[in-house]
Chains A and B, each alone.
Chain A
Amino acid sequence: MTNLTLPHLPRPLALAAKALPLAPLSLLLTRLARQLMRRHPGLQRRLGEHARCRFLLDLTDLPFLLLLEPGGATPRVSAISRLRPPAHDTRIAGLTSAFLGMLHGSLDGDALFFSRDLVIEGDTAAGLALRNAIDDAELDLAAELSVMLKPFAPLLAWTLPSVERLSGLALHRMDRPTGAPL
């Protein structure tokens, strides 16, 4: 009953991801998370008490795990080897494309859950809060990356479409922004 339309990360890319050094990757993702929290204060508010939770994001087609700790003002994301899964409160597992689809509001988390393309374990309420917070924030990964890597924004705009084509992943929001603050 798997939703066949969900693309897996192509094997060569997954292999390439294996070569990524986890410490710098963690730094980069942490910077991104802090920027998200700063630019979208609704995230923090909707997470509420669940901001203290440790979310293990298991993007099943990536060679490493991500530990998201939204915390207070200083969220942290760690890329961690699959050999040493960290302690966590909630585990959410699915393909990278499923996570990006939810992030960009093009896929419904419940529908992914019904079709078992998304698995949630542990503190389910925290998982729901995170899902709802992100859905309301109307995020756009491409836009966030170009803010974060400002000097390289033109380069990014130029390369992103080919990265999207190669990976089969949507790295930008596809629904029409509806007067939401970007």
Chain B
Amino acid sequence: MELVCPAGTPAALRAAVEAGAQTVYCGFADETNARNFPGLNFDRDEMAAGVAFAHGRGAKVLVAINTFPHAGAEAMWHRAIADAETLGADAVILADIGLLAHAATHHPDLRRHLSVQAAAANPDVINFYAETFGVKRVVLPRVLTVDEIAAINREIDVETEVFVFGGLCVMAEGRCSLSSYATGKSPNMNGVCSPASHVDYAEEPGGLTARLGGFTIHRTAKGQPAPYPTLCKGCFTSGNQTGHVFEDPVSLDATHLIPALARAGVTALKIEGRQRSRAYVAEVVRSFRAAIEAQAAGRPMPEAALAKLSEGQAATTGAYAKTWR
């Protein structure tokens, strides 16, 4: 199977390729991609160099242009697609219908992948994207079980890519406005979720308190692992219950599901974390490359060794197991 690895910086791209990534995904340093974080991403020259580096070592580069263009400012997104093609990207990862239509019309030879931000969760809608916009691969939303993924693959002709490691979105991606409700900045429009610019940490009697846009997201006692101040993984109160109403602050590790995902017909395994360091990228990519090779050789999956890199220092298989729901 193909391993698709994150690169938030040129250094991370090189680290990913050196560590055994067959494919790297990255984005331009603006609102056109869904990891528009401070100090991250690629300018045009860096993208050209990154593509050259990857191609020189037999790896592919996918450019994520997976936010939804602002009305009145589509030109920036159109330019991103044109530049990705010029700079030699192997595919673009898109979510917006208008952008897919634009790319299909104006860049027919540029391979199009459907971003997880499009939340295409069943064969009918995947076939719709494939037939209408010539999408060749779909990144499946993180709301499906392995069985459902297998069933989808039986009814579609395009490739599927699924997340196997990293931050877990609890909500259907591309259809979530929680972040902008609290901060005014959204994944869809600004490429950020629960942005650092709106986070405040305060040491309070109950522990380290994280607030997002003024809303308290969690309070962690001394010695407890600190989660990202991500809204859907916050600790809240409902009635007489207090806890992680939506999702515990854990991250996805589907290493041991790799054989099942292979049987389900999945083409590519994706690692989340363009916001992470090159140390993370190198370690996770190495670990998953080993797992994929073990799978191909029919050997058992290696034991999970990545817990310390995980949020909450704990991992889940998320929606892939039906009990998660």
Residues of chain A at the chain B interface (Cβ within 8 Å): 1-3, 45-48, 50, 101-102, 105-111, 113-116, 119-121, 123-133, 135-138, 175-176, 178-180
Contacts and interface: CB of A to CB of B under 8 A. Distances in A.
B277 A110 contact: yes
A108 B18 CA distance: 17
A108 B12 CA distance: 12
A128 to B, nearest CB: 5
Interface string B189-203: 000000111011100
B321 interface: no
B: contact size bracket: 35 or more
Nearest to A176: B18
Interface of A (DSSP majority class): helix
A46 B10 CA distance: 12
Contacts of B282: 175
Contact of B40 (A132, A138, A179): A132
A138 B53 CA distance: 16
Contact of A102 (B17, B43, B228, B277): B277
B101 interface: no
B225 A115 contact: yes
Interface string B31-57: 000000111100100000000010000
Contact of A105 (B11, B196, B227, B275): B11
Contact of A109 (B223, B225, B277, B312): B277
B196 A128 contact: yes
A135 to B, nearest CB: 5
B86 interface: no
A125 B195 contact: yes
Given A1-B313, A132-B9, 15 more contacts: A110-B280, A114-B308, A116-B208, A116-B224, A119-B208, A123-B197, A128-B39, A130-B39, A131-B277, A135-B11, A175-B278, A175-B279, A175-B282, A178-B17, A180-B11
A47 B39 contact: yes
A179 B225 contact: no
A121 to B, nearest CB: 5
A132 B273 CA distance: 13
Nearest to A101: B279
A113 B224 CA distance: 11
Contacts of B278: 105, 135-136, 138, 175
B164 to A, nearest CB: 18
Contacts of B228: 110
B8 interface: yes
A133 to B, nearest CB: 5
A45 to B, nearest CB: 8
B276 A108 contact: yes
Nearest to A116: B226
B277 A133 contact: no
A54 to B, nearest CB: 16
Nearest to A109: B277
A55 B270 CA distance: 35
B39 A131 contact: yes
A178 B12 contact: no
A124 B313 CA distance: 21
B14 interface: yes
Contacts of A131: 39, 277
Interface string B9-26: 111101101100000000
A114 B226 contact: yes
A39 to B, nearest CB: 15
Contact of A116 (B195, B200, B223, B277): B223
Contacts of B312: 114
A110 B38 contact: no
Given A110-B275, A114-B225, A135 B38 contact: no
B253 interface: no
A133 B39 contact: yes
Given A106-B279, A136-B10, A178 B18 contact: yes
Contact of A1 (B53, B225, B280): B225
Contact of A128 (B9, B37, B225): B37
B176 interface: no
